[in-house]
Amino acid sequence: MEKKSVGSIILTVVFALLSLIWLIPIFEVLINSFKSNAFVNLEPFAFPNAESFVGMDNYVKGMTFGNYPFMQSVGYSVLITVVSVALILLCTSMTAWYIIRVNSFFCKIFYYLCLFSMIVPFQMVMFTLTFTADRLKLNTPYTIPIVYLGFGAGLAIFMFTGFVKGLPLEIEEAAAIDGCGPVRTFFGIILPMLKPTLISVGILQTMWVWNDYLLPYLVLDRTKYMTIPIHVQYLKGSYGTVDLGATMAVIMLSIIPIIIAYAFCQKHIIKGVAAGAVKG
Amino acid sequence: MAKSKKRKASGNSVTSMLIRRPIQKWFPLFILPTFICFCIGFIWPFIQGIYLSFCNFNTPDDATFVGISNYVKALSDPGFVHAFWNTAAFAVVSIILINVAAFAIAYALTQKMWGANLFRTVFFMPNLIGGVVLGYIWSMIFDGILKQYSTYLTANATYGFWGLVILVAWQQIGYIMIIYIAGLQAVPEDMLEAAKIDGANKWQTLFRVIIPNVMPSVTICTFLTLTNSFKMFDQNLALTGGAPQVIANGAKVNMTELLALNIYSTYNINKNWHGVAQAKAVVFFILVAVLAISQLTATRQKEVQQ
């Protein structure tokens, strides 16, 4: 290792402090999730003490808080995210390959429409999308992935085509000469080569679908189905006198899976987000 | 390049027969499902959205054509005008704050430092949490702080505005920092060495060598923060929801509302406002599209110069 100057030690200390400050909001949720409601209101920045500490009560309460079981929201969130992202990855990678290799007039039109869709804000289509989804019965967690595929296709196709353009034709020609059909070529040869882009697109779309509030709020039949963001907003918005302690517990429960996932694939996530940002 | 051109001339028909035509036969599998979903999720709602912005409607079935009166109403709505200036002010403040802070952090983290990776991980983390949850967390924190001065977040539009700035800065500095780090790492090592040999001090190196070299990242980041601020919705909704509301010129104006939230709340007033909300959405789309296209051209120009 090289010598560290005094300056770099000071910088390290400053950044260590700054990182701690950065984490205060999360920490704040954590300590408040162990305090009873009155104390969250009264002294939100105090540590739980003998008087205010309620153990896991808030977590237990949070599970059924707001007349809707929290675990059901989690279940729907997981279902929608997993199915939507899988569908987006599979369909758009196939489409991107088709667009680049066939390159017909229709393909070009479709590609430019995808680029165009990337600059259209959701507010432009949200009301009409809600009507369309209602009419086509896409308002359940089982069918909403179709809406996500439709609205999310733009960015995914854009990123996949960027990668497919760089793949050498020779491999596919050799495969074709050996009698390998397009379907097998795609799943056996192309898809494994697409892995880095699959990871990037997968992470970007997961972050989008998992945290998305407005699209499922408008499209889903709200009386029956909630996702985590809808659940959190519902607790805040329309639940009369809010039990802050229990709400903090619910928020904590919704953050924990994200932090665990982040701890495990931090490098992929940062790389994927950077790739998406530079291209988008 | 020359090689690939030659290839095209001689091997185009072979390639076409071997690859293009066989794939084309699989049209229904490879492209049709995505295209149908794209039509359902984007093209049809977009076209219908433009049509309905010229109509009075409750649902698309009872739409009656009313010409441009929705646009007249939308542009003369004080709430919409206020939301526009609010959004513009918010965009300017957050662009400057986020970019300066993110660049400073990225610059420090690319120096030799212990734990730089850990710090990077921490700063990036808020990005992964959804806007609604973030809004809720920060509204609790701001209310807790303001309580000591016996007031609360939605009492005053100034609190709401700066609250949103702080929230968004906290969320996005880490994201923008990542892009700056990538840009800083791409600054050629020999340029830095040459500057050192020529006796440039740290500040001279920073302003004369490093910043000119990361200009492409600056362009990307500026426009990312710009479009993000214009499209801001979840955080706005969860933090203040537009409150406080005042009456100005006989119309209700939500003081901390940004454009996206204004469109949404206009729609929810009652069915007479559906068309106006859709007209506002079209105006909003044009605004965002103009910003995004100028981003693309600006980035292109920078790339050509490189």
* pLDDT value of position A1: 40
pLDDT at B280 over 60: yes
The domains of chain A, with CATH numbers, are 6-64 (no CATH), 69-239 (1.10.3720.10)
Q: Which of residues 211-270 of A touch B (CB under 8 A)?
A: 211-214, 228-229, 232-233, 236-237, 244, 247-248, 251, 254-255, 258-259, 261-262, 266, 269-270
Chain A stretch 46-75, residues whose beta carbon is closer than 8 A to a beta carbon of chain B: none
Dist CA A99 CA A78 (whole Å): 31
Q: State yes or no: pLDDT of A254 exceeds 50.
A: yes
Contact residues, chain B, for A172 at CB < 8 Å: 18-19
**Residue B289 to residue A259, Cβ atoms within 8 A:** no
DSSP A56: T
When scoring B129, B178, B221 by the number of chain A Cβ atoms within 10 A, the one with the most, hence best to mutate, is B129
Query: Which candidate, B233, B180, B216, places its Cα nearest to that of B295?
Result: B216
Own/partner long-range contacts of A41-44 (Cβ < 8 Å, ≥24 apart): A41/A244, A44/B140, A44/B141, A44/B143, A44/B144, A44/B147
If pLDDT is split at 50, 70 and 90, which confidence band does A278 have? low
What residues of chain A lie within 8 A of the CB of B230, using their CB?
121
A97 with B30: Cβ contact below 8 A: yes
A–B interface: beta-carbon pairs under 8 A:
280
Q: Is the pLDDT assigned to residue A150 strictly greater than 90?
A: yes
Chain-centre distance of CA A237, in angstroms? 23
What pLDDT does B5 receive? 47
- Residue B78, both tokens: 């004080």
Domain ranges of chain B: 16-69, 72-305
Chain B residues near residue A216 by CB distance under 8 angstroms: none
Using the beta-carbon criterion (under 8 Å), do B122 and A8 form an inter-chain contact? Answer: no
Span B142-170, average pLDDT: 89
Mean pLDDT of A51-62: 80
B96-128 per-position pLDDT tens digit: 999 999 999 999 998 877 888 889 999 999 989
**Chain B residues touching A128 at Cβ < 8 A:** 44-46, 48-49, 52, 60, 278
Asked whether the beta carbons of A224 and A95 are under 8 A apart, the reply is no
Q: What homologous superfamily is domain B72-305 in, according to CATH?
A: MetI-like (1.10.3720.10)
Residue A241: the pLDDT is: 60
Band of the pLDDT at B154, cuts 50, 70, 90? confident
- Report CB contact under 8 Å: B141, A28: yes
The rounded percent of chain B whose pLDDT value lies above 70 is 92
Establish if A136 touches chain B: CB-CB under 8 angstroms: yes
pLDDT at B278 over 70: yes
* Mean pLDDT (whole number) for A6-22: 87
**Is B173 a residue whose pLDDT tops 90?**
yes
pLDDT at A145: 95
Q: Is A202 on the interface with B (CB under 8 A)?
A: no
**Rounded Cα gap, residues A158 and A280, in angstroms:** 9
Cα nearest neighbour of A154 on chain B: B38
Q: Is A217 helix (H, G, I), strand (E, B) or coil?
A: helix
Q: Residue A114 has what pLDDT?
A: 92
- Per-residue pLDDT reduced to its tens digit, B237-255: 989 888 888 887 777 888 8
How does pLDDT run across A228-246, given as a tens digit for each residue?
A: 998 888 877 654 567 788 8
The CA distance from A115 to A122, in Å, is: 15
Residue B3 pLDDT grade (very low, low, confident, very high; cuts 50, 70, 90): very low
Residue corresponding to tokens 């049709």: B32
CB contact under 8 A, A120 and B46: yes
What pLDDT, in 10s, does the model give residues A94-111?
A: 999 999 998 899 999 999
Residues of B in contact with A248 (CB under 8 A): 140
State pTM to two decimals: 0.88
